[in-house]
Amino acid sequence: MKKLRLKLIEVAFASSVIVFLAMALGLYSSLISYYANQADAITSFISYNGGKLPETSEFSVEEFEDDTRYNISLNDESAFRMRYFIVYLDENDEIRATLTDHIASVDSGTARTFASAVLLFGKKVGYYLEYRYRVVEDPVKNDRYIIFLDCHDTLYAQRNLLARIVLVTLLFALAVMLVFAVFSKKILEPFERNQRMQKQFITDASHELKTPLAVIEANAEVLKYKSGDNEWIKNITSQTDRMAKLINQLLILARMEEMGDNFEKENVDMSELVEGVISRFTEVFDQKNVSLEKNITPGMVFSVNRSQMENLCDILIENASKYVDENGTVEVGLTSVGGKKLMMTVSNTCVGQENMDCEKIFERFYRTDESRTSSTGGHGIGLSIARRIAEQHKGTVTAASKDGKVTFTVRL
Burial of residue 22, with CB atoms counted within 10 A of its CB: 0-12 exposed, 13-18 middle, 19 or more buried: exposed
Of 105, 134, 157, the last residue of a domain is 157
Residue 195 forms part of a structural domain: no
Alpha carbon distance 197, 53 (integer Å) = 80
Indicate if 275 and 151 belong to the same structural domain.
no
- Can you give the pLDDT at residue 330? 92
Indicate if 139 and 280 belong to the same structural domain.
no
Residue 182 forms part of a structural domain: no
SS3 123: coil
Alpha carbon distance 176, 6 (integer Å) = 14
Strand ranges (DSSP E) for 241-282? 266-269
Residue 251 forms part of a structural domain: no
Single-letter residue type at 119? L
Q: What angle do CA 46, 113, 145 make, to 5 degrees?
A: 30
Indicate if 146 and 284 belong to the same structural domain.
no
Q: Which DSSP letter does residue 137 get?
A: E
Residue 237 forms part of a structural domain: no
Of 100, 131, 157, the last residue of a domain is 157
Indicate if 153 and 268 belong to the same structural domain.
no
Indicate if 10 and 149 belong to the same structural domain.
yes
CATH number for the domain harbouring residue 343: 3.30.565.10
Residue 325 forms part of a structural domain: yes
Task: Give pLDDT < 70 ranges for the chain.
Answer: 1-2, 54-79, 195, 198-199, 201-207, 253-254, 257-262, 352-355, 365-380
SS3 258: helix
- Can you give the pLDDT at residue 374? 46
Indicate if 272 and 391 belong to the same structural domain.
yes
pLDDT tens figures, 161-195 = 888 888 888 888 888 888 877 777 777 777 777 76
Residue 21 forms part of a structural domain: yes
Which helix H or strand E contains 119, and what residues bound it? Answer: helix 108-121
Q: What residues make up the domain containing 146?
A: 2-157
Pick from 221, 248, 253, 259: which is nearest to 237 by CA? 221
What's phi and psi for 349, nearest 5 deg? -70, 140
Which helix H or strand E contains 112, and what residues bound it? Answer: helix 108-121
Residue 372 forms part of a structural domain: yes
Of 107, 127, 157, the last residue of a domain is 157
Indicate if 149 and 268 belong to the same structural domain.
no
Q: How many CB atoms lie within 10 A of CB 399?
A: 20
Indicate if 277 and 406 belong to the same structural domain.
yes
Residue 39 forms part of a structural domain: yes
- Can you give the pLDDT at residue 68? 46
Domains: count for the chain? 2
Burial 182-207 (b: 16+ CB within 10 A, else e): eebeeebeeeeeeeeeeeeebeeebe
Indicate if 282 and 153 belong to the same structural domain.
no
- Can you give the pLDDT at residue 370? 52
| pTM: predicted TM-score of the whole model, two decimal places | 0.51
- Can you give the pLDDT at residue 261? 64
